[in-house]
Amino acid sequence: MLTGKRVVLAVTGGVAAYKSAYLARRLLEAGAEVEVAMSDAARNFIGAQTFAAITGKTPVIDLFGQDLVSPHTELARWADVVVVAPATASTLGKVAHGISDDLISALLLATTKPVLFAPAMHTEMWEHPATRENIEKLRSFGYHFVGPEEGGLAGGDVGIGRVAEPESIVEELKRLMGAPEEPLEILVTAGGTREPLDPVRYLGNRSTGKMGHAIADEAARRGHSVVLVTTSGLQTHPAVEVVRVETAMEMKEAVDGVSPDVAVMTAAVADFRPADPSEEKLPREDGLDSVELVPNPDILASVVAREDRPYVVGFAAETGSVDRAIEKALKKGVDLMVYNDVTKPGSGFGTDTNEVTLIDASGEVEAWPQMPKTEVAARLLDRIVADVASRR
Ligand SMILES: Cc1cc2nc3c(=O)[nH]c(=O)nc-3n(C[C@H](O)[C@H](O)[C@H](O)COP(=O)(O)O)c2cc1C
């Protein structure tokens, strides 16, 4: 799928730049035409001559002074796609803020073609709030990402920040350059339900809806048609159809009104609700010895039981081992269960990151490293779209 595609490989300054020589070779093997552009910093890590020997073309290394009059715009127009590997924190930051003071950042601002970033940096740099914000911004601009992965880093450190392997980058490029995703009708539920005791007080839970909103936004950006049934007031992508609800019963009614191809059920739905909520605020002086609770409907089970059953993704926020989630996945009959241990730091309610484990319908388990919820959303959608396509 890369045959005849014109790929600009932009190499920026990290130790992982040495892997881009191998990436250049893999791109050529996949049938792509490759032009390499290098930042000044990149040339501290690998020589331009290495790329010249692999691609048969001299890399572009400067905005000024080489043969090309306007190298950034010429490369930008020539490319069918630009891949930045490795992508440094600095280059990501420049593009997120519209700074174009060197060859690579000017090229990235000048191109209208798809851009795939393969970030690589130490964990501290990747987790810095500035980098987090830049990645969010770049995603919202429509840039694509592959990796980073967890593993060994420069200097013997271990953590998230390792550049994606050349094979994964080539696969991601093939996906980007292939046919666009077939648009799906996707239902997402998000947030924690609030079950009233009286007009002021409720029984609730700690779910904020961030994970579900990230999935809805990512799906809308990819052109899917999205209905988001949510208890959260978070902003959403303008193309998302939002149905705001409070209680489990309201959520059930809203979900019943949608017949999607895919249902991603991230909402934390209360299992029980007060049997008889008071219409007036309960006065403190009257006391309250106990609250009678009645069970709420199991919304996930009702979607799985439909005759026109969609592809169903359940979420299991647990506080213990993955075994309980495997049991739950098999019992509920979902196509995919996304499990996270909400007691782990950086995982679960209210955080911007999540560490999840996927469990498929046969109980097969796939653990993902901790990553931003936006990235969990993107990877999860890749998986859903691939599963749905393979069934059609
Ligand atoms: C030994 C060494 C390794 C580095 N590795 C990385 C890295 O992996 N990721 C990163 O973002 N910056 C890394 N840097 C810092 C960048 O090289 C520096 O921010 C540079 O200005 C990036 O410029 P560029 O984005 O134009 O290539 C490293 C610096 C040194 C000295």
pLDDT tens per residue, range 159-202: 788 999 999 999 899 888 876 678 999 999 999 999 999 999 99
Q: Is the CB of 15 under 6 A from ligand 1?
A: yes
Catalytic residue among 44, 134, 205, 354: 205
> What pLDDT, on the 0 to 100 scale, is given for residue 269?
97
> What pLDDT, on the 0 to 100 scale, is given for residue 179?
66
Q: Is the CB of 88 under 6 A from ligand 1?
A: yes
> What pLDDT, on the 0 to 100 scale, is given for residue 338?
96
Q: Is the CB of 13 under 6 A from ligand 1?
A: yes
Asked if the model's pLDDT at residue 217 lies above 80, the reply is: yes
Domain with CATH 3.40.50.1950 in the chain: 6-177
Q: Using CA positions, which residue lies closest to atom 5 of ligand 1?
A: 14
Q: Is the CB of 267 under 6 A from ligand 1?
A: no
Alpha-carbon gap, residue 387 to 192, rounded angstroms: 28
Q: Using CA positions, which residue lies closest to atom 19 of ligand 1?
A: 90
How far does residue 231's CA lie from ligand 1's centre (Å)?
42
Q: Using CA positions, which residue lies closest to atom 30 of ligand 1?
A: 14
Mean pLDDT of 4-26: 96
> What pLDDT, on the 0 to 100 scale, is given for residue 346?
73
> What pLDDT, on the 0 to 100 scale, is given for residue 7?
97
CATH 3.40.50.10300 corresponds to the domain 185-275+286-391: yes
Q: Share the mean pLDDT of the chain.
A: 93
Asked if the model's pLDDT at residue 387 lies above 80, the reply is: yes
How far does residue 24's CA lie from ligand 1's centre (Å)?
20
> What pLDDT, on the 0 to 100 scale, is given for residue 180?
67
To the query of whether residue 44 is one of the catalytic residues in this protein, the response is: no
How far does residue 320's CA lie from ligand 1's centre (Å)?
39
Asked if the model's pLDDT at residue 392 lies above 80, the reply is: no
The alpha helices in 114-165, defined as continuous H runs, are 123-127, 129-140
Domain with CATH 3.40.50.10300 in the chain: 185-275+286-391
Contacts of residue 179, Cβ cutoff 8 Å, sequence gap at least 6: none
Q: Is the CB of 90 under 6 A from ligand 1?
A: yes
Alpha-carbon gap, residue 386 to 64, rounded angstroms: 44
Among the listed residues 37, 173, 49, the one whose alpha carbon sits nearest the alpha carbon of residue 107: 37
Mean pLDDT of 98-108: 97
Q: Is the CB of 299 under 6 A from ligand 1?
A: no
Task: Summarize pLDDT for 271-310 with one digit per residue, the tens.
Answer: 999 999 999 999 999 998 999 999 999 999 999 999 999 9
Asked if the model's pLDDT at residue 383 lies above 80, the reply is: yes
* Fold topology of 6-177: Rossmann fold (3.40.50)
Contacts of residue 265, Cβ cutoff 8 Å, sequence gap at least 6: 189, 299, 300, 303, 312, 313, 314, 315
Ligand 1 pocket test, pick from 15, 62, 88, 132 with the greatest ligand atom count within 8 Å of Cβ, gives: 88
Mean pLDDT of 99-120: 96
> What pLDDT, on the 0 to 100 scale, is given for residue 343?
79
> What pLDDT, on the 0 to 100 scale, is given for residue 378?
86
Q: Using CA positions, which residue lies closest to atom 25 of ligand 1?
A: 91
Q: Is the CB of 125 under 6 A from ligand 1?
A: yes
> What pLDDT, on the 0 to 100 scale, is given for residue 297?
97
Q: Which residue has the higher pLDDT, 76 or 160?
A: 76
How far does residue 159's CA lie from ligand 1's centre (Å)?
17
How far does residue 12's CA lie from ligand 1's centre (Å)?
8
How far does residue 65's CA lie from ligand 1's centre (Å)?
24
CA angle 206, 207, 213 (to 5 degrees): 155
Asked if the model's pLDDT at residue 243 lies above 90, the reply is: yes
> What pLDDT, on the 0 to 100 scale, is given for residue 66?
75
344 pLDDT tier (thresholds 50, 70, 90): confident
> What pLDDT, on the 0 to 100 scale, is given for residue 68?
82
- The two tokens of residue 92 are 């990501």
Among the listed residues 210, 144, 112, 95, the one whose alpha carbon sits nearest the alpha carbon of residue 378: 144
Q: Is the CB of 91 under 6 A from ligand 1?
A: yes
Asked if the model's pLDDT at residue 25 lies above 70, the reply is: yes
Element (H, E) at 36: strand 33-38
Mean pLDDT of 361-390: 89
Mean pLDDT of 203-210: 94
Judging by beta carbons within 10 Å of its beta carbon (0-12, 13-18, 19+), is residue 113 exposed, middle or buried? middle
Q: Is the CB of 131 under 6 A from ligand 1?
A: no
CA angle 357, 268, 320 (to 5 degrees): 45
How far does residue 13's CA lie from ligand 1's centre (Å)?
5
Taking every pair of C-alpha atoms in the chain, what is the biggest distance, in angstroms? 86
Alpha-carbon gap, residue 360 to 209, rounded angstroms: 23
